[in-house]
Chain A
Amino acid sequence: MDMLIKFVVAAVVAATPILYGTLGEIMNERVGHINLGVEGMMSMGACAGFMVGYITDNLFLALVAAFAAGAVGALLYAFLTVTLMANQNVVGLTLTIFGVAIANFVGFYMISRSATKSLKLPENITSALGSIKIPLLGDIPVLGQVLFQYNIFVYLGVIIAILMAVYFYKTKTGLNVRAIGENPGAADAAGIRVTKWKYINIVIGGGITGIGGAFTAMITAGGVWISDCVGGLGWIAVALVIFASWKPVNAIWGSLVFGIFRILKYYVPKNVPVPIAIYDMLPFLVTAIVLVANSIKQRKDNAQPASCGINYFREER
């Protein structure tokens, strides 16, 4: 039982950064922009969050910085793809290359200037990053441990996912925004401000992604700055968007499934003859299978928003 609780808790922690990345990417793809810069925006968020946390020793400021850094990356992406109508794939990949590099670059620079030649988060912020036990609920045996004793990122991520689901499916704005993703020309004709909502969604999405990056730098890496701390999670997040069929609520349990994939290799008994690489491959393999299966069944409701990848030029509608 203890083992099982430990397993679930570890899976949730492994799932959290992916959840953020996925939610951010859903925001992007819902307005018709496939942003392959998730890895880059996460790295930028990781770097900004960690460095601000390191300097100010304040978790709130660190989270704001992470959000802002991700949002700046996304703003760059939005300017190039929405306003200047550059190719989305190319800009996204560039953002990934740029974001990862600038994070490592700044990290290298900060380390070279520090006295100890390493960066470790100070005390206040480290304790603020610890598990928060929700009063009463956290005391329930087993369930309390599995559901209500996590660090702040986990709760925040779930809250963002639920808010996002409400936004997309219960508000008029959300409906409009989804319309943009499916057919920007029609949305424009209906009086929806296409460019404005594209910018808003992409930038907020980038910010959320940035917070996911901060998680990897501050929690996964144990409070010490390491290069490449995001380490490919951004790409798993892109995969999860497909697995979650572009729906925020699906992203919650989907990220848990992917979290389990990520930690499975540490929990499977040694005598099970499955190579480690297979576990690491699972998120991508499963996603590929889901992608093909959905296309065979031609399920429109589980498909990518129709205008994804195509920039919208008003005079060509």
Chain B
Amino acid sequence: MSSKTVREPLLHIVKRDEIPAKKAMVLRIVAFLLALIAGGLFMLSIGCNPIEVYQTIIVGCFRSNMAIQATVKIMIPLVIAALGVSLAFKMRFWNIGAEGQIIMGGVFASYFALFHSDWPHWVLVIVMFLAGALGGAIWAYIPTFCKVRFNTNETLFTLMLNYIAYYIICFLRDGPWCDPNSPGFAKIATFDDNATLDKVLGVHSGWIIAIILLVAVFIYMNYTKQGYELAVVGGSSATATYAGMNVKKIMIRTMLISGGICGIGGMIQATGADATLSVGVAGGVGFTAIIIAWMASLDPRIILIISALFAILEKGSRVVESNMGISADSSAVLQGIILFFIMGCEFFFRYKFQGRAKKGSE
């Protein structure tokens, strides 16, 4: 017999056992550092000193109380939306619709901010909070219902709903909710002071809500029966069915919570950060949140860290733009590079390369 069989490739991929969490973290940090180096090379190539850029980013975020407050302000919606989508993702429900759910939360809350601003402050805030959650939950319910009933593809449907929601704001801005006193261009009126969130330590109180949600989601995921159920559904819906769980019910329940949390994020953006409902109320946060949740392995504690990192990059790059004359888009470029590296390194958590078996060893 000739030995001319199909040759095994030099390297092939095999599954490995779960690597310990600590080692995974080290790998991530290595990937992060490599990404910073890659980003630095990119900056060098256009004639910037990367060390100076990185330094400006860090200093720009922490140079004053105001700078820190601005960073925290960027961070709040990221954390909240990432918490929301992480619940859906844990269930392997690909909710790409956080953007739309944030918007609808903002829209629902804004209705009360615009037309019932005479209510007592605390009543109004609570109503707006609930309305925001309701708006997000409704926007999450539509695709989930279609998923469990007709098996509609949730990734594509939630994606479409984002844009439908976006144009709902445009519609409200141009028509029914247009501020008649606005000069020139159409916009929605600035909310009455009574209808905006109070400031605590210089930042709107959304940060308190974010922390409460963070703790709540952590407990819900790890220490409750419902959290356990959704993890089982995510692992295998067949297993869940066999164990007697009502998968459809769990799916709808979880998505109502997931959308509701995103909706709260929208309410906080509108009534806290912007004090109006602008078309940019979500402004890509819903998409960034998906990335954050995934990078954090859906762990609320890591979500906090990664959101902080993203916020620092974003705030810092604005300083870089004004100080060094490079576009603030450098923040998103860097984000992209970091993400590509970390996503690449995650491969090594689950798989490893194995060399070709030596001759005679088989």
Residues on A close to B: CB < 8 A? Answer: 34, 36, 76, 79-80, 84-87, 89-91, 93-102, 104-105, 108-109, 112, 235, 238-239, 242, 275-278, 280-281, 283-285, 287-288, 291-292, 295-296, 298, 304, 309, 313-316
A238 CB to nearest B CB, Å: 7
Q: How far is the CA of A242 from the CA of B295 in the complex (A)?
A: 28
Contact present for B288 and A105 (CB under 8 Å): no
Set of chain B residues within 8 Å of A238, measured between Cβ atoms: 156, 159
Set of chain B residues within 8 Å of A281, measured between Cβ atoms: 163-164, 167-168, 171
B122 CB to nearest A CB, Å: 34
20 contacts between A and B (CB under 8 A): A36-B159, A86-B343, A89-B96, A90-B290, A90-B294, A90-B343, A94-B340, A97-B335, A98-B332, A100-B329, A101-B330, A105-B326, A105-B333, A109-B327, A277-B167, A280-B167, A281-B167, A309-B94, A314-B13, A315-B13
Q: Which A residue's beta carbon lies closest to that of B15?
A: A315
Q: How far is the CA of A152 from the CA of B155 in the complex (A)?
A: 35
Q: How far is the CA of A234 from the CA of B161 in the complex (A)?
A: 16
Beyond A84-B347, A97-B336, whether A89 also contacts B329 by CB under 8 A is no
Q: How far is the CA of A287 from the CA of B290 in the complex (A)?
A: 23
Q: How far is the CA of A217 from the CA of B10 in the complex (A)?
A: 44
Contact present for B160 and A288 (CB under 8 Å): yes
Check if B174 is an interface residue, CB within 8 A of chain A.
Answer: yes
Set of chain A residues within 8 Å of B336, measured between Cβ atoms: 94-95, 97-99, 101-102
B residues 142-179 touching A (CB-CB < 8 Å)? 146, 150-153, 155-157, 159-161, 163-164, 167-168, 170-171, 174-175
Contact present for A292 and B157 (CB under 8 Å): yes
Q: How far is the CA of A313 from the CA of B13 in the complex (A)?
A: 9
Partner of B332, one of A80, A101, A304: A101
Set of chain B residues within 8 Å of A93, measured between Cβ atoms: 96, 287, 290-291
Check if B339 is an interface residue, CB within 8 A of chain A.
Answer: yes
A38 CB to nearest B CB, Å: 11
Set of chain B residues within 8 Å of A313, measured between Cβ atoms: 13, 15, 351
Q: How far is the CA of A104 from the CA of B156 in the complex (A)?
A: 27
Contact present for B167 and A80 (CB under 8 Å): no
Set of chain B residues within 8 Å of A105, measured between Cβ atoms: 326-327, 329-330, 333
Set of chain A residues within 8 Å of B161, measured between Cβ atoms: 284, 288
Set of chain A residues within 8 Å of B290, measured between Cβ atoms: 89-90, 93
Contact present for A291 and B167 (CB under 8 Å): no
Q: How far is the CA of A89 from the CA of B93 in the complex (A)?
A: 12
Check if B46 is an interface residue, CB within 8 A of chain A.
Answer: yes
Set of chain A residues within 8 Å of B183, measured between Cβ atoms: none
B residues 319-353 touching A (CB-CB < 8 Å)? 325-327, 329-333, 335-337, 339-340, 343-344, 346-347, 350-351
Contact present for A96 and B287 (CB under 8 Å): yes
Contact present for B160 and A284 (CB under 8 Å): yes
Q: Which A residue's beta carbon lies closest to that of B95?
A: A89
Partner of B333, one of A36, A79, A102: A102
Residue-wise, chain B 1-41 has the 8 Å CB interface mask toward A (1 for contact) of 00000000000011100000000000000000000000000
Set of chain B residues within 8 Å of A100, measured between Cβ atoms: 329, 332
Contact present for B94 and A284 (CB under 8 Å): no
Contact present for A109 and B159 (CB under 8 Å): no
A311 CB to nearest B CB, Å: 11
Q: How far is the CA of A97 from the CA of B151 in the complex (A)?
A: 30
Set of chain A residues within 8 Å of B327, measured between Cβ atoms: 104-105, 108-109
A226 CB to nearest B CB, Å: 13
Q: How far is the CA of A133 from the CA of B163 in the complex (A)?
A: 37
Q: How far is the CA of A283 from the CA of B166 in the complex (A)?
A: 13
Q: How far is the CA of A274 from the CA of B155 in the complex (A)?
A: 30
Set of chain B residues within 8 Å of A275, measured between Cβ atoms: 171, 174-175
Q: 10 tightest A-B contacts by CB?
A: A98-B336, A101-B332, A108-B327, A281-B167, A277-B171, A277-B170, A84-B347, A295-B152, A284-B163, A288-B160
Q: How far is the CA of A36 from the CA of B151 in the complex (A)?
A: 21
Beyond A94-B340, A280-B170, whether A34 also contacts B152 by CB under 8 A is no
Partner of A235, one of B15, B150, B163: B163
Q: How far is the CA of A112 from the CA of B329 in the complex (A)?
A: 14
- Tell which of B175, B288, B291, B329 has the most Cβ of chain A within 10 Å: B329
B347 CB to nearest A CB, Å: 4
A10 CB to nearest B CB, Å: 21
Q: How far is the CA of A91 from the CA of B343 in the complex (A)?
A: 8
Contact present for A295 and B164 (CB under 8 Å): no
Contact present for A102 and B153 (CB under 8 Å): no
Q: A80-B340, A90-B294, A91-B340 are in contact. List 14 more A-B contacts (CB 8 A).
A: A34-B155, A80-B344, A93-B287, A98-B340, A99-B336, A100-B332, A101-B332, A104-B329, A275-B174, A277-B168, A278-B167, A281-B164, A291-B153, A292-B157
Q: Which B residue's beta carbon lies closest to that of A297?
A: B150
Q: How far is the CA of A98 from the CA of B39 in the complex (A)?
A: 12
Partner of A86, one of B159, B330, B347: B347
Contact present for B340 and A291 (CB under 8 Å): no
Contact present for B174 and A276 (CB under 8 Å): yes
Set of chain A residues within 8 Å of B152, measured between Cβ atoms: 291-292, 295
Set of chain B residues within 8 Å of A76, measured between Cβ atoms: 340
B217 CB to nearest A CB, Å: 19
Q: Which B residue's beta carbon lies closest to that of A309?
A: B155
